Amino acid sequence: MTRITRRLALGAAAATLAAPALRAQGTAIRIIVPFAPGGSTDAVARLVAPGLTQRLGAPVVVENRSGAAGAIGTDAVAKARPDGLTWLLTFDSHATLAALLPQLPFNPDRDLDPVMLIGGAPYVLACKPDKPFRSITDVVDAARARPDAVSFGSTGNGTIGHLTMVLLQGRTNTRITHLPYRSGGLAVNDTVAGHTDMMIGSAAVVHPHARSGTLRTFAQFGPQRLPALSDLPTVAEAGLAGLEAEAWWGVFAPHGTPQDAVSRMNAALKESLNEERVRATMQEVQQARLVASSPGELATFLAREVAKWGEVVRANNIRAD
């Protein structure tokens, strides 16, 4: 092959690889977060958006569409054109949608393709500092003394935080009043204001407030203590072995999105998450265990989560708000 012919061939190959990105120039890429602003899912989406804009060659816009435990925003993605311009960045409640809402207008398995499991963070219990709870035992004792009088906030009916508290009540034979919110940020606000006795949320959304002193954490549901919360015992240490729950964030695409577009998004996410600033924020502020999985690894992980938490939803006849 002559030098000129080789240059032409290399140039054609480069143009072919660049074409999808060039077609996206000037066209916004949407990341739909199916929860209100202020929660950890919204924070993760906005954290990676600048890096994605740089790597995908198009502006990346985060759009919040909250409601029905994440089903409203997820439905918008499931029905979007599979052109690589619409993506879903969602929370762990995605695993319970089919069990929670039997009449969903979409099928989570058929209508969405996995892209990446970003990572996870353990659920923690927190309260306003003037509340009396300093351990999971304090909560159990108070709930037994006054059934239904103690309240907790979560990000909504059927979310993993809510289901974890359902399991806790079953294990301890207690009744605790549930106050569902539309995002972790709203649950934090009411807990800080004292409108609910405590809240369950991911360490990602609770830790900044614990660090500033507006909330006090007193139990974590991870398999071991978080380094940043090394003084905070796990519920297993309090005698509730096996009661574990971890929040997680995953990215999905409308079914049929071209594989090369999925691969580009996966690669752009990995590179964005590996930026020093982003990685530090995820680990130190969001308290996340980064995974940055392949699409197939997310599919396998999700199947396990669906089986585990779907059973809790069905066994307790839980429905969305």
* CATH for 288: 3.40.190.150
Q: Find, among 13, 40, 3, the residue nearest to 204 by Cα.
A: 40
- Report how far Cα 70 is from the mean position of its chain's Cα atoms: 10
Lowest mean pLDDT among 5-19, 209-223, 224-238, 306-320: 5-19
Q: Which domain holds residue 202?
A: 122-229
In this structure, are 164 and 139 located in the same domain?
yes
pLDDT higher than threshold 80 for residue 123: yes
**Residue 226 has what pLDDT?**
82
Position 26 confidence tier, pLDDT thresholds 50, 70, 90: low
Q: How confident is the model at residue 289 (pLDDT cuts 50, 70, 90)?
A: confident
Provide the token pair at 62.
């985060």
The answer on pLDDT for 143 being more than 90 is yes
- Do 200 and 116 share a domain, yes or no? no
**Residue 242 maps to a domain:** no
Residue 202 and residue 157: Cα distance in Å, rounded? 15
Cα–Cα distance measured from residue 205 to residue 158, given in angstroms and rounded to the nearest whole number: 18
pLDDT band of 272, cuts 50, 70, 90: very high
Token pair recorded at residue 316? 């307790």
Residue 283's identity, in one-letter code, is Q
Is residue 293 assigned to a domain? Answer: yes
Q: Could you give the CA distance from residue 214 to residue 193 in angstroms, rounded to a whole number?
A: 9
3-state secondary structure of 170: helix
How many domains are contained in the chain? Answer: 2
Output the pLDDT for position 51.
97
Distance CA(147)–CA(223), nearest Å, equals: 29
163 shares its domain with 84: no
- Each residue's pLDDT tens digit, 82-99: 999 999 999 898 999 999
Q: Is residue 239 part of a domain?
A: no
Tell me the per-residue pLDDT of 162-212, one tens digit each, with 9 for 90 and over. 999 999 999 999 999 999 987 788 899 999 999 999 999 988 888 889 989
Residue 250 to residue 259: CA distance in whole angstroms: 17
pLDDT of 321 reads 65
Numbers of helices and strands, H then E, in the chain: 12, 10
Provide the 8-state DSSP code for 234: B
Quote the CA–CA distance of 47 and 229 in Å, as a whole number. 23
The answer to whether residue 53 scores a pLDDT higher than 60 is yes
Q: Are residues 166 and 261 in the same domain?
A: no
